[in-house]
Structure 1
Amino acid sequence: MASASDTITPAEGVIRAPRERLWYPYLLIAPSMIMLVVVSLVPFLYTIYLSFHAAKFGRVTDFVGFDNYAVLLTDPRFWNSIGVAATFVLIAVPVEFMLGLAGALVLNQNVRGRSLLVPLLFMPTMMAPIVVGLLWKIMLAGSWGFFSYNVLERFNLLEGTSVFASPEYALYALIFVDIWQWTPFMMLAFFAGLQALPTGPYRAAAVDGASPLQMFFHITLPMMTPLLAVIGLLRFIDAFKVFDTIYILTGGGPGIATETPSILANKMTFEFWNIGEASALAVLVWLAFFAFCNVFYQVAKKRLNAF
């Protein structure tokens, strides 16, 4: 027979249960948070540490304060990389955005063969960057590549050399490859958003005699704004820090014509062994994106009601 001291009163059970529920969510997310701290936060903090020290050829020596930042900000090569990345982003992302939205609107019209077309659209995005790079390196190779021979050579756009060896056209070729790879992703993301929109507002607008164009600007775009803002921001960030396809196709060349900050940081680290300046470059890019994302969030929240 249990003693009176062994029994649990209802009041004790009421008190203990909330405490267990309070810690339970933190226990669930603890593995992910620990992993993020180990693989993201700790390396980032160490990068900040390196950016304030003279770190060359694998040796971290004296504290130099902001000298690495000062040298970097007066380096024309750094500003050239920023200009290359800005050109890449300002051309590729808007084109991907508009083509993706237009394609999503077409897919939303119950076109024939949509069930077969949608899985096929995943193929460019699902390809590994090295596969995309090798594919287009062959397609645009010299005068014998499939695309080079049938388009560039036939219309006398570029003769006797690869487009990736041309200082004038190499960056635009990379932009074309990026558009080819990521437009289907934008299209499918916007198509999923269109499929999730409620049909009630469209029925009411049709009763009132609204045209398809009026429905698009006054119903579809306002309701799609949160998705458009988030996808556009993520794609902007990803395009600015693109590394793999540029590294495979041009390596930043010819010269520095396609050298983005990611490529420049890689060269500083593994070719010049100037780890201090490379760390400063990484921190500056992070600060720029941190400021940009905060401004974008505030503007999108207040003016577009996107968040």
Structure 2
Amino acid sequence: MKTLVWVEHDGGAVKDATLAAVTAAAKLGEVHLLVAGQGVDGVAQAAASIAGVGKVHVADDAAYAHALAENVAPLAADLMGHHDAFVVPATTTGRNIAPRVAALIDVQQVSDILSVEGPDTFTRPIYAGNAIATVRTRDAKLVVTVRTTAFAKADAQGGTGTVEAVSSTGDKSLSSHVSSEMAENARPELTSAKIIVSGGRALGSGEKFAELIEPLADKLGAGIGASRAAVDAGYVPNDYQVGQTGKIVAPEVYVAVGISGAIQHLAGMKDSKVIVAINKDADAPIFQVADIGLVGDLFTLIPELTSKL
């Protein structure tokens, strides 16, 4: 079986999410990569160095400069004539591209897989992660999105893949890139951070969120996350959100401050190796998954904790 993995990149480097997708794809068979973008020779060479990769297909065209799903999907669908499976990381962009490819080649997508049980069989979470379903597809070709926290990252070095240019399918003129507003953050990115400090609605305001959570995160060298309630309340931007409709994370340490532990949030962080919960409600659901729980007033406990680090 030949698998085609879409490479998520920033124009200069391959993102870690791709490395997890490569690991998943390797369980299905021979791994080929698709690098689509503009001026991506460096990305293609980096992709060819990933361990286990056989071939890198490169489409260098202005149509792919911003990874617009409406342009990338037809390219991937065209290449699926010579591949058996299309695998993407279940990131925001990956989840935008994959279903379009599935529609174009007329198959059902298998979403957010946690493991590969066979050439057509996978496990995936259902009911916000409260149950794990084993699913089997009867489609001749596969389209699969991968929960990246469930798979180890392939080695970024050591591969000897060959690079091959492929023809562009062009700009479909269905969408256009207007502008990008890039937030600069000195802290680790959520999906790759080893330690994450997340705040919830109990913090009360954006000012208190910054006053309490940021110093603690700085002391720990941690990324900052938030519950959906905190995002909806306007305390922090949307890209801080951890949960089923936010980012799925699995750091070594996850510190949940003032987060009750709704199912939606737990689905995004319960695979963390160590979970620390701080909440004044001893019956909060977060304590059911926490390895360490601290019951008390966060407005007193967090400054004290920060001062002692």
TM-score (norm 1): 0.22
In terms of fraction of residues, the more helix-rich structure is: 1
Question: TM-score scaled to structure 2, two decimals?
Answer: 0.22
Larger radius of gyration: 1
